[in-house]
Amino acid sequence: MKQLNNSDYLNNLRHSCAHLLAKSVKDLWPGTHNAIGPAIENGFYQDFDFGPSTSSGQAVKISDADLPKIEEKMRQTLKTWNHFDYKEVSLEEAKKLFADNPYKLELAEEFAKGGKKLLTNDPGSFLDLCKMTHVENPKKEMQHFKLLSIAGAYWRGSEKNKMLTRIYGTCFPTKEELDHYLWQIEEAKKRDHKKIGQDQELFLINNDVGGGLPIFLPYGAVIRQSIDNYIFQEKKKRGYTFVWTPHIAKSNLYVKSGHWKKYEAMFPPLKLEDEEYALKAMNCPHHFQVYLSKPRSYRDLPLRIAENGTVYRYEKSGELNGLFRVRSATIDDTHTFVRHQQIEEEYQRILDLIKKIMSDFGFKKYKMRVSTRDVKHKGKYLGEETLWRKAEVAIQKVAQKSDIDWYLGPGEAAFYGPKLDIMIEDAIGREWQCSTAQLDFVQPVNFDMKYIDEKGKEQKPAVLHIAILGSIERFMGVLIEHYAGKFPLWLSPVQVKVIPIADRHREYAENVAKILSADNIRTEVDSRNESMQGKIRDAALQKVPYMGIIGDKEVTRSVIPSVYPERSRREVEGSRSQQKLFISIRTREGKDLGQINLKEFISKLLQEIEKKY
């Protein structure tokens, strides 16, 4: 499909806004030093040193309450900014110009040492050392900004350095876009998966087990398992075979794959009987063993080896974030081994599967990033130049032929090959990268993979590394926020809450629950001594899709069979009890569906579940 521009303009705009923030803060608090101010996803930040916190004088400490004042100053300043004036300077000149700012001095020295040009710019009474590009017409383009929050951050991210003050903000080309983003932030707060996860008892992260190591509580484990089963079924239908692999291996395996050197998030190794083992950070080397377990012929290919495998990644504790950033991540992984001439067709199948799955989860809009090497840092990658070129050409061809809009992501490739990354848009318009399909000519060389072709000749396969949901933990976090906790029926931990109005309706309620459970409808009975209204309210808070209310009216209308089935569905059908029982149904949205025959209700539920409403 068509190639989109990537977000260079937005990055320039936001980075330019960091300059505006720096100037304004320095005007408000003279003597403050600005450090770095890059564009980040959805905005920018600017770091400041507000001066020494000596024992004599009180250091400046700003808070969220200062943000409006700073914004006001920015607005005034912006009026005078017509364009960024650039000038190349020598190290000596730079040292003079930024003599009072230790951060700029350090950067100037470093740039000079690295043989880089030293550039300054001045958009209006504010000279700064900066190698980035900026907007053409600041006064006009930078109007729609907003400061968002304040945090502490060490200079250059190292706790050995001074703690600076970081101000986050954002900037958009239009007011509409800014407003939409601010609405998104507010809306996202309401949907915070950490809060919903706690309220609905989905998962638990505690200090005894450790940060980034979520335990899925019974309700959360139901969702997790529903996702797991669904992925299994969809993949199985398409000829994927599943394996199971352990969570550790000798570290040599990762030396061979290159992860040991090139992948930063490996856990530290542990020693058993003089041999070094490591927790797996990736499933690939394990799945390669499956490929290598017997001689392969072209008839075996494509060979699709799948596993929802938990990997362990050493994320810094400061970067852990609910289910979004964890240390134990379960990847819905596939490694598909293909002949080179099968690459395009297999990619087409993969993209179709991604669209099917994402659409079943209610994500209908997507873009694709073609992630290629950072050509300036080729040392970050393994493998021969010719293989890389071939892979990057092949993957762009796939993108071009697909029906998904795409853009280039230079520097976003894996260390062994380029990737297609699918960006989905959630219910409030945020973008998430979950799916990835990576093309790898390098690992087949590392692991000496072979197959015999029709002519009896040895050939090397290519490997496609595919994750559709990515990390199931993170995907669940995205889902919770996407649905704001109101999961569709097929994913709801409790699908029906049966509510007896009085004690005398409890036995009937228990029997209705048994019949529902026999049809694999996840059912609970609320037999507390609460009012009906209270029970309905609690079930709605718990976001249970349907409540089945049982009172005198329902009991009277029903013909109650003398024997209730315990478990077997067949028995239940045999007794025909479903037809003779009635319940009144309410939805979590407060809709009253009135009295309904249990059999009819069950078939309605089963239909909804199958259609993934």
Binding site residues, a second copy, CB under 8 A: 201, 204, 206-210, 213-218, 220-222, 224-225, 237, 241-250, 252-253, 256, 267-273, 275, 277, 279, 286, 289-290, 293-294, 305, 310, 312, 314, 316-317, 327-328, 567
CB of residue 228 to a second copy, shortest distance in Å: 9
Give whichever of 1 and 215 is closer to a second copy, judged by the CB atom: 215
Q: How many of the other CB atoms lie within 10 Å of CB of 488? A: 17
Per DSSP, 527 falls in state -
| Least distance in angstroms from the C-beta of 5 to a second copy | 39
d(CA 452, CA 459): 6
DSSP 268: P
| Residue 543 CB, nearest approach to a second copy (Å) | 18
> Cα separation of 137 and 173, whole Å?
12
CB of residue 561 to a second copy, shortest distance in Å: 21
Cα separation, 549 vs 206, in Å, equals: 37
Concatenated DSSP letters for 189-214?
HHT-HHHHHHHTT-EE--TTT-TT--
Task: Between 567 and 591, name the residue whose CB sits nearer to a second copy.
Answer: 567
If the CB atoms of residues 108 and 494 are measured against a second copy, the closer one turns out to be 494
User: For a second copy, which is the closer residue by CB, 60 or 243?
Assistant: 243
Q: To the nearest whole angstrom, how small is the minimum distance from the Cβ of residue 350 to a second copy?
A: 18
For the chain, the C-alpha Rg in angstroms (whole number) is: 29
Nearest to a second copy of 28, 290 (CB atom): 290
Give CA–CA dist 138/17, Å, rounded.
9
- Sign of the Cα torsion 39, 43, 48, 53 reads negative
* Least distance in angstroms from the C-beta of 243 to a second copy: 5
Query: Residue 412 CB, nearest distance to a second copy (Å)?
Result: 27
Q: Is the dihedral of CA 97, 102, 108, 113 positive or negative?
A: positive
CB of 567: closest distance to a second copy in angstroms?
Answer: 5
Least distance in angstroms from the C-beta of 162 to a second copy: 20
Q: Which is nearer to a second copy, 111 or 242 (CB)?
A: 242
Taking the least distance from each CB to a second copy, the nearer of 119 and 290 is: 290
Closest distance of CB 275 from a second copy, Å:
7
Q: Which is nearer to a second copy, 189 or 271 (CB)?
A: 271
**Burial (0-12, 13-18, 19+ Cβ within 10 Å), 189:** exposed
Query: Exposed (0-12), middle (13-18) or buried (19+): which is 451, by Cβ within 10 Å?
Result: buried
Nearer to a second copy, 185 or 248 (CB): 248
CB 576 within 8 A of CB 563: no
Amino acid at 368: M
Distance CA(190)–CA(93), nearest Å, equals: 51
Query: What is the distance between the alpha carbons of residues 500 and 531, in angstroms, rounded to a whole number?
Result: 10
State the sign of the Cα–Cα–Cα–Cα dihedral 294, 299, 301, 303: negative
Compute the C-alpha angle 580/584/589, nearest 5°. 145
- Residue (of 456, 461, 415) closest to 292 by Cα position: 461
CB of 426 to a second copy, least distance (A): 24
Q: Which is nearer to a second copy, 130 or 305 (CB)?
A: 305
**CB of residue 461 to a second copy, shortest distance in Å:** 17
Distances (CA, A) of 143 to 75, 170, 178, 521: 8, 11, 10, 54
Q: Could you tell me the two tokens for 457?
A: 């000749």
Nearer to a second copy, 24 or 328 (CB): 328
Half-sphere exposure of 435 (CA within 13 A, CB side): 25
In this structure, the number of other CB atoms found within 10 A of the CB of residue 127 comes to: 16
Q: Whose Cβ is closer to a second copy: residue 29's or residue 277's?
A: 277
Look at the alpha carbons of 384, 388, 389, 390 in this order and tell me if their dihedral is positive or negative.
Answer: positive
